[in-house]
């Protein structure tokens, strides 16, 4: 069965500090991994998708199949990065992308 683990419920850093939000997964096949973000009073939106390998708002995430991890990183956090971040997994090729399995989320707070 698929499982997504985000070990930190809360994470606080100061502005300009590096930030890493951890995500580990378990899945028997080749999953697709995503990071979704939810800013205060806004709806959930896609931040990153591992296959696109792009950097959004300075965030990057590398899929490490050996460690089954997909940690989200940003070298210099900004106050506007404060939000709830969800790591999510989809069954990969041939599987509907919207069948997502989410981690419990990490609330990131960036202090000025």
Partner 1 sequence: GAVVSQHPSWVICKSGTSVKIECRSLDFQATTMFWYRQFPKQSLMLMATSNEGSKATYEQGVEKDKFLINHASLTLSTLTVTSAHPEDSSFYICSATRGTNEKLFFGSGTQLSVL
Name the site residues for partner 1 (rule: CB under 8 A). 4, 9, 42-46, 86, 96-105
Find the shortest distance in angstroms from Cβ 60 to partner 1.
Answer: 19
- Residue 47 Cβ vs partner 1, minimum distance, rounded to whole Å: 12
Which sign does the torsion angle of CA 98, 45, 30, 2 carry? negative
Residue placing its CB nearer to partner 1 in the complex, 41 or 112: 41
What does 54-100 look like in DSSP terms, one character per residue? --BTTBEE--BTTTTB--EEESS--GGG-EEEEEEEE--TTS-TT--
Q: How far is the CB of 54 from partner 1 (least distance, A)?
A: 13
Q: Which H helix or E strand runs over 110?
A: strand 106-111
Specify whether the CB–CB gap between 77 and 19 falls below 8 A: yes
Contact in structure between 109 and 45 (CB atoms under 8 Å): no
C-beta closer to partner 1: residue 15 or 69? 69
The smaller minimum CB distance to partner 1, of residues 15 and 38, is found at 38
Cβ proximity to partner 1: between 26 and 45 the closer is 45
Cβ at position 48, least distance to partner 1 in Å: 12
């Amino acid at each position: 069965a698929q499982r997504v683990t985000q070990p930190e419920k809360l994470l606080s850093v100061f502005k300009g500090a590096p930030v890493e939000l951890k995500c580990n997964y378990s899945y028997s096949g080749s999953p697709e991994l995503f990071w979704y973000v939810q800013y205060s009073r806004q709806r959930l939106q896609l931040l990153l998708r591992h296959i696109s390998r792009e950097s959004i708002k300075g965030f990057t995430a590398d899929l490490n199949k050996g460690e089954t991890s997909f940690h989200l990183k940003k070298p210099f956090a900004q106050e506007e990065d404060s939000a709830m971040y969800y790591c999510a997994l989809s069954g990969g090729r041939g599987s509907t992308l919207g069948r997502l399995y989410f981690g419990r989320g990490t609330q990131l707070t960036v202090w000025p």
